[in-house]
Structures are given as structure tokens and as C-alpha cells.
Amino acid sequence: VGFWDPVGLSKDGNVETFKRRRATEIKHGRISMLATMGYITPEVTGKFPGYLSPSIELKFSDVPNGLAAISKVPAAGWAQIIAYAFFVEFSSNNFGWVDTGGNFDFSGKLVNAANKQGDSRAPGDVGWKPPLLATDDAELKKKRLNAEIANGRLAMMAIIGMFFQDGLTGSAWGDWALYTDSPLRAFENELGVQAPVGFWDPV
């Protein structure tokens, strides 16, 4: 598709706004990749042994996978999660939504100010070089950064799909047998409904 901007967000040619949006896209992509793996990993490898919260006798195995876990995590656990999120933002070297002084960057002004001050970092560059992935080879770096953006976009779609299926069925994997109240099942027993497509109404 080349440069794909179906709703014309970049048609004004504002480089600073483009960089801010790209930095936001990369950050959301990274979070979504972690979230997607967070859904998949416990299903494949199982959960940690022992207690998540010894004080309330809550074991890791007691916490369900997916959205159902939200109500099971104790308040102290949520406090730790939020504190870590703030730590990540504060440590992004004035290149994110919160600067090192604790100022929120809802409009992207901090990123734009950093650019004006001669900050040559690319969007998403927060000063950390992941082992085995960082490289000084310009072509290889470009290839890997493009792969990160593409994988991040895919992960954003994937995690939304998992949330949707989890909300409908209680499982991120969307077992069709669990869609008992889905309007898609309204006509599945009508005459003419046959395998392999079942009730087929593509338009």
C-alpha cells in the first residue's frame, strides 16, 4: 500500500505533528504486542507457582486469563501496575507523554519542543537499545524498525479482537459454542443451512 493515510491525517504536511503521531503509534504498538503475548503465554506455558498476594491467599492459578482477571487483582496490585506505567513514562527522557518534570503532554507539545531544540531522535527512540536487536547498520535498522511498526499494528488489531471475543464468550479464543446469545446464531437451524458454511449471508 505504500504510504497509507486513508483519512488524510498528514495532508497538512506538519512534520512535528506527524512525528508525535508516529511516536504514539509505536508506543501503542509496543503495549499491544506485550498485551497480546500476555493473553497467549499463560494459555501455552501455564502460570507462575505460588502466591500473587500471600496476605489474601491469592494464588497465580486463581487469577483467570483475560478480562476476568481485572476483578481478581487486588488494589495493591493495581497500584503497582499504575506506578510502573508512570515510571516508564517518566523515564522516557522528555520524549513521550510525560517529561522528567512530571508535566503531562496531552497535546504533544513536549515532543514538538524537543524536536525544535535539535533532538534528532526518531519517534519511539527513548534511549534504550534492546540486546540482540539494536544495530548501527542503517539498512538493517530501517528494516527492523519497519517490522516493529508492522508488528505493532497487527498486535493492536489482535488485542482488540481478543478483548471483543473475551467480552462475548469469556474466552480470548472465541469458541463458537460459547456464542450462545449471538445474533449470528438466530437462523442456524433454518431449512437449507448446511455444512460447511452454515447459515451464509455474506451481505
Name which of 78, 80, 98, 81 is nearest 89 in CA terms.
Answer: 98
What DSSP string describes 10-41?
Answer: TTT--HHHHHHHHHHHHHHHHHHHHHHHHHHH
**125-182, pLDDT tens digit by residue?**
766 777 888 888 888 888 888 899 999 999 999 999 888 888 877 777 766 666 666 6
d(CA 96, CA 93): 8
Element of type H or E holding 143: helix 138-169
**58-83, pLDDT tens digit by residue?**
998 898 888 888 888 888 889 999 99
